[in-house]
Amino acid sequence: MTTRIALIQHFVFDDKNDNLERVIGKVRQVVKESKPRIVALPECFNTPYDTKYFAGYSEPVPDGPTCGRLSALAKELNIYLVAGSIPEKDGNKVYNCSTIWSPAGKLIGKHRKIHLYDTAIEGDIVFTESNGFAPGSDFTIVDIDGHKVGIGICNDMRFDEFCRVYRNEGCEMLIWPFALVASQGQSHFETLLRCRALDLQLYVCGISAARDENSPCVQWGHSMVVNPWGKIVKEAGIGDEVVVTDIDWKVVQDCRRQVHLFEQRRTDLYACERKKH
């Protein structure tokens, strides 16, 4: 009833190939040492999180060289690999794209970040992610050993309606690669992850890159796994770290059996619904 997961909080610098090689080395190392079934990487794990890099670092999915390496790695190690995100080239567009690989090396899901981080907070941060990426338009739910897992990228988490759809469609876990700017992390990262876990009664895993004070976007770190009771099961600091823990699916069932949030929704009064196309 448990599935071991490893979150790789690694440093991202401006050498795309070096980022990829180092992260592959870490995945191999954690699999050797801890035998996780799922390994998850941060948002933009092979590129600095800055709009000026995205197009130049982009590749086709799944036919580019990075995807080739990820597919082979998942197969070699017999793991589910939730490969954070990379810039995806598709015609004239570039997407912030997460690829999810099965232990057979098959692409079982692909999430293009939907809610781009376009914000201008006075005295803090100005960032216009849509200058570098086009937005996706699909929900992404993958099956991991019989459990439905919802995938989102960073800012997607801020949209309660988006997350609610995943619960309504039966997810037991959300896996959420992040590249959250450190100045924003304090005020809402833990709160958001814990509240989504409480509202939706599922596990939430957030994976950040390590904090590099010289990066164009200084990352928050604090990769964490939160259980369906809103409790942080395990949390990284800000550095080069790997978080390993066991997801106990029984906790999801226990929580939902004891607290009937889902059944007590008043769908006669309101409902958050996925729009059909």
The reply to whether 93 sits near a copy of itself by the rule CB under 8 A is: no
271 binds a copy of itself (CB under 8 A): yes
The count of other CB atoms within 10 Å of the CB of residue 216 is 13
Output 190 or 246, the one with its CB closest to a copy of itself.
190
- Verify binding: residue 91, a copy of itself, rule CB under 8 A: no
Query: Distance (Å, rounded) from C-alpha 81 to C-alpha 152?
Result: 15
Q: Which part of the chain contacts a copy of itself (CB under 8 A), choosing from 15-23, 86-94, 243-251, 252-260?
A: 252-260
Residues 156-215 that bind a copy of itself (CB under 8 A): 158-162, 164-165, 187-188, 191-192, 194-196, 198-199
Burial group, residue 172, by CB count within 10 angstroms (0-12, 13-18, 19+): buried
Distance CA 104, CA 13 (A): 30
* Interacting residues of 36 by C-beta distance below 8 A, sequence separation 6+: 4, 5, 6, 30, 79, 244
The single residue listed with the structure tokens 């395990």 is: 234
- Catalytic-role residue among 26, 89, 110, 113: 113
122: its two tokens: 């006075």
| Comparison of 1 and 72: residue with beta carbon closer to a copy of itself | 1
Residue positions annotated with a catalytic role: 43, 113, 154
Binding site for a copy of itself (CB under 8 A): 114-116, 118-122, 137-139, 158-162, 164-165, 187-188, 191-192, 194-196, 198-199, 229-231, 254, 258-261, 264-275
